[in-house]
Structures are given as C-alpha cells and as structure tokens.
Amino acid sequence: MKSGLNILILGGDNRYLEVINILASNNMNIFLNGFNKLSFEDPSIHNLETSEIDFSIMDAILLPVSGTDKDGEIEATYSNTSIRLTEKQLQQTPDHCTIYTGISNDFLDKITHSSNRKMVRLFARNDIAIYNSIPTAEATLKIAIEETDVMIHGSEVLVIGFGRVGITVARLFAALGAKVTVAARKSEHFARIAEMGLKSIETSRIENIVSNMNICINTVPHSIIGPKIIDQMTSSTLIIDLASKPGGTDFDYANEKGIKTIHALGLPGKTAPRTAGEIIGGVLLELIQS
C-alpha cells in the first residue's frame, strides 16, 4: 500500500473537505490551492497560493468534479481568488503524475494529452456513478415532494433513461408507491424493468403517455423533452431534469407553456456533501494506492 504520496488538490466544493480528510488520514501529503478561506490543523495538509506550488513533486492532481472551464478556470468554493490549470504547470509535474477529475472537456483533454499525462475521469467510472445515484435519487425525491401538491404514493411518474441513475431513481419512487413508467431503448432494459415490476415504454413513444404523468424525471444527457412532448403535458406536470448541462429538456418552451421545470445538477454535493465526499475519497484512495 502506497503512502507518503504528494497530492495536489486544486479547488473544489464542500465534498472535497471529506476527500481531504480521507487522504490525509491515510498518510498522504496534501497540498491545497483554492482553500484560503479555511485553515487546517493536520500537519500533512499544506494550504498554498498558486505561486507556492512545486508541481515537480506532485504524484497526483485532483481537480473539482466539474474539472475546468473552457479556459482552464477552476471552481474553488473556498477561495476568493481565481485558479487556473495550464499546460505549462502539467509539464512541470513528474512523468507518472496522474490527473483526476470528475468530468473533462476539450481544454482538459488537450493539455493532458499535450503534456503526456494520464487523466482519470472519476465520474465516468461505474462505481462512483452507482454510489452517487443513491444521494441523487434521494434528492430527486425531496424535490418531487416539495414541488408537487400530491403524494408520491399513487403518483404517475415517468423516468426517462435506464442507466445508473435512472435505475436507482425508478426503484426509489416505486418503493414509495409511485406508479413508475420507465422510458428506455434497449431490449435488455425492458426485460430488467419488467423484472422490477415496473411499466416501460419506448423512448420514442413518450408523447403518447406523458399527459397522464404527474412527474417526469429525465436522466438522458441529450434532447429528449422537446415541444412535441411538452405540448402533451398538463399544466401541473413537474419536470425534473437530472442530465448534465445543457440537459435534455427544452426549458424555454416549457416555461412558455407554464410547465414547471427544475434542472437539478450536482445533487449529491448539495444535499449530501459528506456522503458524496466519502464516495469520491474512497475511490480516489483506492486508485492512488493501486
């Protein structure tokens, strides 16, 4: 088991406080940039300004769940100064240095490739995605309870997509007595949906049943709920879109039609940050020590 590794954490939100604790408690040397609003007593945690970072000693770099923006800017909840990741910085790291991020984009792909550094997209991993689906489903249920005027028990709920999040969401709502219909595409998904005792429909046929739905929950990260489907909804229908930006809903058209929509992003970090941090930290520690 590896210990004493130098880990640089650039920015992050409240989930990363748990990640920091997990790594530090496992004998890692933690270097932080983007946490100058906080102080840490653990001597293995070093809170630095960008100019103080020695990239040449870093065995791994952890970026926020959101990675960087298109210009390399990094989200840093606990800092009042901007933070950027550059190709020059990566080139100063040892050849074995691995970059860990939640998700990536063209900018991050480009500079890691140009620097010949390995990058791991944590949220592309099945283990993290499945673990995260649990707090996501719980938070979705909370939104549904707060934003509707009917009980979940007996409500008609449409879950679009039967991936890692869709499965957990469908199971949770069904467990509370909702009448769940899952929209899917693959024959094996229809078989599993039937095994779970739920109703199913082809994604292309959603508009035929959506008028009966109290709640529509989308998990598919491309355009799904467009004008044809929205036109069939009643004014009391609630759309909860869990898909990453830009989502799978025509939000402007839904607003014009008076349909309430909620683009619910980053739910684990908002509603269960400690759990979400434990998930990220546990998987990250396993990867770093392997």
Report the distance separating Cα 89 and Cα 1, nearest Å.
Answer: 28
pLDDT above 70 (res 247): yes
Task: Tell me what the mean pLDDT of segment 259-278 comes to.
Answer: 94
Cβ neighbours of residue 191 closer than 8 Å, sequence gap 6 or more: none
pLDDT above 70 (res 1): no
Domains 6-124 and 129-269 share a fold: yes
Q: Look up the CATH superfamily of 6-124.
A: NAD(P)-binding Rossmann-like Domain (3.40.50.720)
pLDDT above 80 (res 5): yes
Task: Tell me what the mean pLDDT of segment 56-67 comes to.
Answer: 96
Percent of the chain topping pLDDT 70: 100
Task: Tell me what the mean pLDDT of segment 107-113 comes to.
Answer: 97
Task: Tell me what the mean pLDDT of segment 275-286 comes to.
Answer: 94
Q: For residue range 192-242, list pLDDT tens digits in order.
A: 999 999 999 999 999 999 999 999 999 999 999 999 999 999 999 999 999
Give the model's pLDDT for residue 53: 97
Report the distance separating Cα 233 and Cα 74, nearest Å.
Answer: 39
Q: 240-258 burial, b for 16+ CB within 10 Å, e for fewer? A: bbbbeeebbbbbebbeeee
pTM: predicted TM-score of the whole model, two decimal places = 0.85
Task: Tell me what the mean pLDDT of segment 69-85 comes to.
Answer: 93
Report the distance separating Cα 126 and Cα 128, nearest Å.
Answer: 6
Q: Are 63 and 120 in contact (CB under 8 A)?
A: no
pLDDT above 70 (res 248): yes
Q: Which comes out higher in pLDDT, residue 269 or 87? A: 87
Give the model's pLDDT for residue 3: 72
Q: For residue range 35-46, list pLDDT tens digits in order.
A: 999 999 999 999
Domains of the chain by residue range = 6-124, 129-269
CATH value of 129-269 in 3.90.1150.10, 3.40.50.720, 3.40.1360.10, 3.60.20.10? 3.40.50.720
